[in-house]
Chain A
Amino acid sequence: AMFLLCELKDIVALAPEKFGSPGLEAYEQALNEKLSNLVLHKVGLCCALWDILQVDEAHVFPGDARSHSQVRFRYVVFRPSLEEVLVGTVRKCDTDGVHVSLGFFDDILIPPDQLQHPSRFENSRGEPAWVWAYDTGADTGPHQLPMERGDRLRFRVVEELWRDVLPGGKQQPQQLGQQPAAPLDEAARLPPYSLLGSVNEPGLGLLDWWSDA
């Protein structure tokens, strides 16, 4: 499925001004501040807090006015399964392939070898497009079916790519970590989590192509 619940454990530090907040509100806010819209390596894109399962006794440390508690909670994570079929919109076409967006997640690419065969890249009509030459056997030759920015399409997830990069391009050690938002060098230009998709099957590709099938 597109979304799943991930159970996590973390220490939440609350500043004194939060001490009066009702119930678990301060913990909920702290967890959402920390995780929402961030990629956790090999876990997925964190969306929003689902629930808090347990809050342990709070501790205060010398020199630190904040209270620290270990919190066990479940977070909604976006991480489609491999082979799962999704619907999205074409964000742009270039020589890398067809880039697809879901609005809240943009790092989806359908590379040229995963398009319907045969497809070619065209940039002559002002709008870059990948065009599928669909051979119906008619005398007039194959139908030209373009995929362009704004088109809605159905695609299958075929691979997940994780980039785990620290400053200097060093590999991050085994522990779980969050990804920095701003890339720092060549290798780091790749997003922390991205998907490769395929439309090379009947029923996949633009929704319009199959709407009468």
Chain B
Amino acid sequence: MQVVNECNQVLTNAEVYELLDGIRKSKRAVGQRNSALKNLATLTHTAHKFLAEQTPAPTQTSSAITAFLTDIRQFNLSRQEALQLVNLCPRSPVEVHVIVDDCDQRLTDEQVQMLLDLVAKWFPDSSNST
């Protein structure tokens, strides 16, 4: 086994959810009878459950994510911060402060509210998220 590129790309939770959903639904879930694929079944089941129950991932479409990322460009956030906004869907200012480094110095209260409004616009609360 050789690592060619330790981090070829980062993924949103939504993309991983979609992959796991596909694996679960696929007819090649013949894996469940195949004990050698038990690890995949375990991982898929537990990770899918986590993403479905503890994150907003299941309701996030790739077009909404792209639109959101475009709309937040004006705030000059890092890629990690932008990704966390997508994965965590903050609903209150304190949650934004936890995600954006030195938030007080980089964003005004109005900008924090604009961010929250954009989160609410593209990822409406299905009362499943944080």
Contacts and interface: CB of A to CB of B under 8 A. Distances in A.
A4 interface: yes
A81 to B, nearest CB: 6
B46 A104 contact: yes
B1 A8 contact: yes
B114 interface: no
A202 B94 contact: yes
B53 to A, nearest CB: 8
B61 interface: no
A102 B88 CA distance: 14
A83 B92 CA distance: 20
Given A29-B37, A37-B42, A81-B80, A6 B8 contact: yes
B6 interface: yes
Interface in A119-142: none
A160 B13 CA distance: 20
Given A33-B40, A36-B39, A3 B95 contact: no
Contacts of A202: 94, 97-98
A108 interface: no
A156 B98 CA distance: 9
Contacts of A6: 3, 5-8
A210 B31 CA distance: 42
Interface string A27-47: 001001100111010110001
A211 B95 CA distance: 10
A78 B101 CA distance: 23
Chain B interface residue number, banded: 35 or more
A185 interface: no
B3 to A, nearest CB: 6
Contact of A203 (B2, B15, B19, B97): B97
A32 B98 contact: no
A207 B130 contact: yes
Contacts of A74: 8-9
Contacts of A7: 3-5, 8
A87 B54 contact: yes
Contacts of B39: 32-33, 36-38
Contacts of A81: 80
Nearest to B91: A211
B119 interface: no
Contact of B87 (A2, A5, A9, A211): A2
Given A1-B83, A48-B44, A72-B4, 13 more contacts: A1-B11, A1-B13, A4-B8, A5-B8, A7-B3, A8-B2, A29-B28, A37-B42, A85-B99, A89-B54, A104-B50, A210-B92, A210-B95
Interface of A: 1-10, 25, 29, 32-33, 36-38, 40, 42-43, 47-48, 50, 72, 74, 76, 78, 81, 83-85, 87-89, 102-104, 152, 154, 156, 176-178, 201-204, 207, 210-213
10 contacts: A3-B16, A4-B8, A8-B2, A33-B39, A37-B39, A43-B3, A83-B101, A103-B47, A203-B97, A213-B92
